[in-house]
Amino acid sequence: MCIIIISCFNGCVKDSCTHTYSYTWFEPLYKTTAEVRDNIKTSTARAIKVPGKLFVIGKYIFLNEVNKGIHIINNSNPAAPVNAGFIDIPGNIDIAVKGNTLYADLYSDLVTLDISNPLNVVKKKIIDNVFPHRRYYGFNSDSLKIIYDWTRHDTTITADCSQNGWIGYNRGGIYQVTDNQLFYSSAASNAGFIGGSPSGIAGSMARFALMNNYLYTVGDAELKVINIAEVNDPKVTNTIALNWGIETIYPFKDKLFIGSNTGMFIFNTTNPYQPAQEGQFTHARVCDPVIADSNYAFITLRNGSQCAGFINELEIVDISNLSSPVLLKKFDMTNPHGLSKDGKLLFICDGKDGLKIFDASDITNLKLVKQFKDIETFDVIAWNGLAIVVAADGLYQFNYVDNKDIKLLSKISILQ
């Protein structure tokens, strides 16, 4: 989480000089592991505040509330979706669903839930420490406790000008002041109707990917192989080391397309227990979601506080030879995030520049069909005439059955 300093004043008296900083920091609140796990159940619907990743299956949208849990949205009528319930899972970021089984991260642990009745989920299994990269740096809490919320503190301090930057730890919280910037540790932080997806679809920002009897997950520098042949009894069967900076994973046919901040890696799953790297495409250091079809990979590159770099563009890569991907074309963007493709239509969440929909019939000459501006977009799933978009101010749904008349169907607003 990034916090911007509200004010910064300099004061000089004789030969001394001071800085006055006003900043916000967050103190973690804990529950015991037992309390948190016992509370993993469906509760009444909650307002959406900080939406994250999403997974669509059948008539349901499972939408992550960052580090809080999962909203259950009944999408039987996309023109009037119903926020039907909430699954309380502290530390949740990623979601995958196979049939009636949902897999989710609880910070570093993997949770398995029976969602035969989404409004009354049943916890089946929890595996400890599957995702060690989710253990927050700077908080040496009791291993039997879990962060479930944060308390905000607004604070003003005065420091000598010679202190150009420092890190402070206070009451279990962490913050950093460096010159005129404040950085806070990330610890605080496609059926019978259009869009229905019987098999389940994840967004392009996902770190979870389902393929047959396996759940593949990526951390900062590793690929986990989890056998889910027995859906309610997953078993971690392999861990494969990857280069640092891994961000996303996207399954297509028998391939895994893994996005990193330095490039795209292509793995084949001929041996599903031991995926093997088949190809690699390198780009400048930036954030990098990726999707693919039979012939091309589509990569969005963006800059930002966590992404470094200065590039904001869409790259289209020829993957007809998987062992040697070739850049085919680049298109300038504003700050692209998630993307999705359905037939000849390519959907791109271009940050504050909104949702852009392109005719990709000619892959080297994309034509903008429609742009919905004034929406800060994050991720999109487009399938069977329905585009579901996660944005800063809500969950949007668009009907594109007629690509000459793409229109907004509904919006669930975020509680400000």
* Distance (Å) of CA 8 to CA 175, 179, 180: 16, 9, 7
Amino acid 154: pLDDT: 82
Amino acid 269: pLDDT: 98
The CA distance from 97 to 115, in Å, is 9
The CA distance from 60 to 190, in Å, is 10
The CA distance from 322 to 269, in Å, is 13
Q: Over range 369-390, report the average pLDDT.
A: 97
Phi, psi of 357 (to 5 degrees): -120, 120
Amino acid 166: pLDDT: 40
pLDDT at 183 over 50: no
pLDDT at 29 over 50: yes
Q: Six-digit token pair at 361? A: 């019939």
Could you read off the pLDDT of 224-248 as tens digits, one per residue?
A: 999 999 999 999 999 999 998 899 9
* 253 is a domain residue: no
Structural domain tally of the chain? 1
Amino acid 153: pLDDT: 83
Share of the chain above pLDDT 90, in %: 69
Could you read off the pLDDT of 91-144 as tens digits, one per residue?
A: 999 999 999 999 999 999 999 999 999 999 999 999 999 998 776 544 445 567
Domain that residue 27 falls in: 2-31+134-183
Q: Over range 195-218, report the average pLDDT.
A: 86
Amino acid 142: pLDDT: 56
Phi, psi of 118 (to 5 degrees): -60, -25
Q: Helix or strand or coil: residue 345?
A: strand
Amino acid 151: pLDDT: 85
pLDDT at 184 over 70: no
* 179 is a domain residue: yes
Tell me how far the alpha carbon of residue 41 is from its chain's centroid: 22
Could you read off the pLDDT of 10-23 as tens digits, one per residue?
A: 554 455 677 676 77
According to DSSP H, which parts of 81-171 are helical?
none
Supply angle C-alpha 365, 337, 347, rounded to 5: 45
Over the range 194-206, which residues count as b (16 or more CB within 10 Å of their CB) and which as e? bbbbeebbbbbbb
* 22 is a domain residue: yes
Q: Six-digit token pair at 329? A: 């074309």
Contact 232, 125 (CB under 8 A): yes
Q: Helix or strand or coil: residue 32?
A: strand
Task: Give the global pTM.
Answer: 0.85
**Residue 265 confidence class, pLDDT cut points 50, 70, 90:** very high
Considering only 34-43, 184-193, 371-380, which range has the smallest mean pLDDT? 184-193
Amino acid 118: pLDDT: 97
Q: Which of 92, 89, 93 lies closest to 38 in space, CA to CA?
A: 89
Amino acid 192: pLDDT: 32
The CA distance from 34 to 70, in Å, is 19
Amino acid 177: pLDDT: 38
Residue 96 neighbours by CB under 8 Å, 6+ apart:
55, 102, 103, 104, 200, 202, 206, 208, 209, 210, 215
Kindly report the average pLDDT of the chain as a whole number. Answer: 85
DSSP classification of residue 130: S
Residue 94 neighbours by CB under 8 Å, 6+ apart:
53, 64, 104, 105, 206, 207, 208, 217
* 19 is a domain residue: yes
Q: Which of 13, 204, 235 lies closest to 112 in space, CA to CA?
A: 235
Q: Helix or strand or coil: residue 34?
A: helix
The CA distance from 299 to 289, in Å, is 6
Amino acid 361: pLDDT: 97
Amino acid 155: pLDDT: 80
Could you read off the pLDDT of 38-81 as tens digits, one per residue?
A: 999 999 999 999 999 999 999 999 999 999 999 999 999 999 99
Considering only 32-41, 209-218, 342-351, 392-401, which range has the smallest mean pLDDT? 32-41
DSSP classification of residue 351: B
Contact 222, 241 (CB under 8 A): yes
* 129 is a domain residue: no
Q: Over range 185-193, report the average pLDDT.
A: 32
Amino acid 286: pLDDT: 67
* 159 is a domain residue: yes
* 143 is a domain residue: yes
- As a whole number of Å, the CA-based R_g of the chain is 22
Q: Which of 301, 292, 283, 224 lies closest to 255 in space, CA to CA?
A: 292
Amino acid 4: pLDDT: 40
